[in-house]
Homo-oligomer: A and B are copies of this chain.
Amino acid sequence: MAHEDRRLQVLRAIVQDYVSTNDPVGSKALAARYDLGVSPATIRNDMAVLEEEGYITQPHTSAGRVPTDKGYRFFVDRLSQVKPLSAAERRAIERFLDGALDLDDVLTRTVRLLAQLTRNVAVIQYPTLSRSAVRHLEVVQLATNRLLLVLITDTGRVEQRVVEIPAVTDAPAGTDPVAELRTLLNAAFVGAKLAEAGVKVADLLDTAPAHLRGLVAAVSATLIETLAEPGEDRLLVGGTANLTRGGALDFPGTLRPLLEALEEQVVVLRLMGEVAPSTVLVSIGEENAHEGFTGASVVSVGYGSAGGTADLALGGLGVVGPTRMDYPGTMAAVRAVARYVGQLLAES
């Protein structure tokens, strides 16, 4: 229907205009800037309908219209195609991320890059342990009753845990229980997905030499616990200074809860938890469960497919900004960066 088409165009124009100017947009300005082929009066009629349907709203009786969360949602869902990044942006990504050495470095750079590209807050999650595979396990004795267990995954993530161990009393003379343990653990776990660790642990407990049982049990317990605890998924945040762009306009009085939520990593991690590498997820304003985010939008995507057909990401990354953000641009940036990061991690 012609009506509907034009109304959609009008909505789109309102969103674009509002995003770029941050001023409520009126019928006249719209007609002038976006030649829609109709007069302001007609646009006014369309706007009245759009308002009635809840896509836009008037901040004050005599101001222009502003998109509602629902309006942004509609806009995002109807994005015909994600606009590709400019060549300059692509180059920036490469320049920024190439030369990163270890995992920390990659993630730190990524978060900075993303914050800079989108001029918003960027977040990135460390590769989930449970979806990584073991590359190496190292055991260092700290004291007679304490070991340091260092886990190195195939994504380059290094985790350490202190393990309290029972005293080893019945070790055969001339053997080094810790060295034995190391060999044993590596033989059992290297190459295995951490999600499968539970099974391997059971095996190990059966097959380990008697005098090592105690050690193995203690270490295994810690290992499993480490994986189970979702809090262990760490998060990197960058570009918080961007929250202050546009003065207090973008986040009217809500800056504080937002900063708190960002530090309270769990909140963000929950958002990231369900993200797949294939589709960019957009969560707008009130759609966000957590109160700190109700004035903000989150654009996120998974990176580094864990491989195969299963569409599980190693971790998520994304951008947090005002509802009034450049969705197409942000979505494109987030996606491009995620791809690049996935690639980098796969290489190492």
Contacts and interface: CB of A to CB of B under 8 A. Distances in A.
A239 interface: yes
B150 A138 contact: yes
Contacts of A140: 135-136, 152
Q: How many monomers of this chain does the complex have?
A: 2
Interface in A223-269: 238-241, 243-245, 248, 255-257, 259-260, 263
A40 interface: no
Interface residues of A, number: 32
A135 B101 CA distance: 23
Contacts of A244: 255-256, 259
Contacts of A156: 148, 160, 162
Interface string A157-171: 010111000000000
A238 B158 CA distance: 23
A274 interface: no
Nearest to A135: B140
Most buried by B among A142, A156, A160, A239: A160
A291 B248 CA distance: 22
Contact of A259 (B102, B161, B241, B256): B241
22 contacts: A101-B161, A101-B162, A103-B160, A135-B140, A136-B138, A136-B140, A138-B138, A142-B348, A150-B150, A150-B158, A152-B160, A156-B160, A158-B160, A240-B240, A240-B259, A240-B263, A241-B256, A241-B257, A241-B263, A243-B259, A245-B256, A248-B248
